[in-house]
Amino acid sequence: MAVSASSPLVFFDTSQPASINTLKVGLFGIGLDTYWPQFDGLEARLTGYVQQVGARLKRPTTDVINLGLIDAPEKAMQAGHRFRQADIDILFIYVTTYALSATVLPVVQRANVPVILLNLSPEPAIDYDWFNSLTDRTRMTGEWLAFCSACPVPELANVFHRAGIPFQQITGVLNNDPDCWREVDEWLDAAYVAQVMAHNCLGLMGNYYSGMLDIYSDPTLQLITFGGQMKILEVDELSALKEAVSETAVQERVQAFHDLFDVQPDCSVAELERAARTSVALDQLAEKYRLGSMAYYHKGTGNPTNEDTMSSIILGTSLLTARGVPVAGEYEIKNAQAMKIMDTFGAGGSFTEYYALDFTDDVVLMGHDGPGHIRIAEGRTKVRPLQVYHGKVGAGLSVEMSVQNGPVTLLSVVEDGRGKLKLLVAEAESVAGPIMQIGNTNSRYRFPIGARQFVNAWNSHGPAHHCAVGVGHIASKISKLGTLLQIETIQVC
């Protein structure tokens, strides 16, 4: 079951920092103005088809800029300027009948956005008996031209290749073709994620975990690839905000913890209040900087106030993650990006790594300490007290959950060592079974190629040891995102 990345938790109705972006979708149909006086009704018929496509592209997060039929080079020049002025994010070209490539190239060059060619026939096939029974050969030609969408596609492809313009094709039927429209929907989803990433503000608070070389990343490369911005945040500011939180706000957040989590009996009131104070301060920090995601890590050693802040942060970061502001621990910038991608696709996106291999059941145990995505949990997420945060300073409350049983997708944003990023993807199943009840997120994943082959295949591409996991099989959508961003996507299973 997919989750909504934008729907707030009940007590965040008016203070949600993550905004809902609008994807601007350009659309035009192509035809040839010479035909209109020759074939009565053809122009109106094809214009109606373009309107049908425009209606199919409309959704709550899209603004469709539909310029109708472009049927002459002069109109193409004007259309290119209009799309550029509208600041579109993606361009759909509906090939309704034969058209000159000169009516298309100027539009695409000026718009300068990803291009999807819709090669859609109005019906699955021509009714040959009816067609051949017509006695008016001019009318017959007009009917044929309404089915002639495939004719100019090679011409357009030739010109795009020679102009160095990437493009994608969807070939199918205007109506009653689920596969065709599933492809359209996936391109819209991928374009929306690319648009969100291009406007996302990633907060970076603290510093890297010392010696964890695989997670060290080039922030500039992230911005070059995905767009967006990064804000360097001070732990000291979060600590200061925490000290100013009112007792009323603390008690309200403690109640929210009980409403949203399965708080275990051994969690003390003092620890819940400490976590609540930090959680409220985190919300204030996220709101101040309009954060869409975050990566953090800080020991706080030598500064009791900061140590108290960082050891009480897990419940607050879990709530931020659940409301569309995914938070990655250990200052894992690449994984914060992967989590934001998964969450914007509506799949969730929880922080995870290998925990162990279960060769008896042929599953990989995966999880992590720190925040979990409670919206994709199997049942209610437990809150447990830990006397020690393994490998880290301090003690406090932590969350324990498994990802919903059913299809899942893993995503890693990988630096390839040659100054490029790539997306590494795998599809699996989250399966029921025993987990380690250690106050961490942990799940059991079964891969179609088996645990041994998955681990070897995944590791061979050199990812960091963290990745993001979300619900549903969405590898095809992620591949389309990679195409739009012009980065390599590798699917191991």
- Per DSSP, the three-state class of 281 is helix
Mean pLDDT value across the chain: 92
* Secondary structure E strands in 342-402: 348-358, 363-368, 382-386, 396-400
Q: Is the pLDDT of residue 1 over 50?
A: no
Question: What is the distance between the alpha carbons of residues 93 and 50, in angstroms, rounded to a whole number?
Answer: 10
pLDDT given for residue 13 in this prediction: 38
Residues 482 and 279: their CA atoms lie apart, in Å, by 34
438 falls in which pLDDT band (50, 70, 90)? Answer: confident
pLDDT of residue 10: 41
CB 411 within 8 A of CB 490: no
For residue 393, the model assigns a pLDDT of: 65
What mean pLDDT do residues 380-393 have?
A: 77
Is the per-residue pLDDT at 392 higher than 70? no
CA separation, residue 272 to residues 279, 314, 400 (Å): 10, 11, 15
Q: What would the pLDDT profile of 294-319 be if each residue is shown by its tens digit?
A: 999 987 788 889 999 988 999 999 99
Please spell the DSSP secondary structure of 293-343, one letter per residue.
EEEEE---TT-HHHHHHHTT-HHHHHHHHHTT--EESTT-HHHHHHHHHHH
Q: Is-contact 143 131, C-beta < 8 A?
A: yes
Q: For 229-250, what is the mean pLDDT?
A: 96
Structural domains of the chain sorted by starting position, each given as residue range(s) with its CATH number in brackets = 19-196 (3.40.50.10940), 200-491 (3.20.14)
Exposed, middle or buried, 488 (CB in 10 Å: 0-12/13-18/19+)? Answer: middle
Structure tokens of 128? Answer: 């040959």
Pairing between β-strand 466-471 and β-strand 348-358 as defined by DSSP bridges = antiparallel
Does residue 458 carry a pLDDT above 60? yes
Of 428, 426, 381, which Cα lies nearest the Cα of 402?
381
- Whole-angstrom Cα distance, residue 348 to residue 331? 19
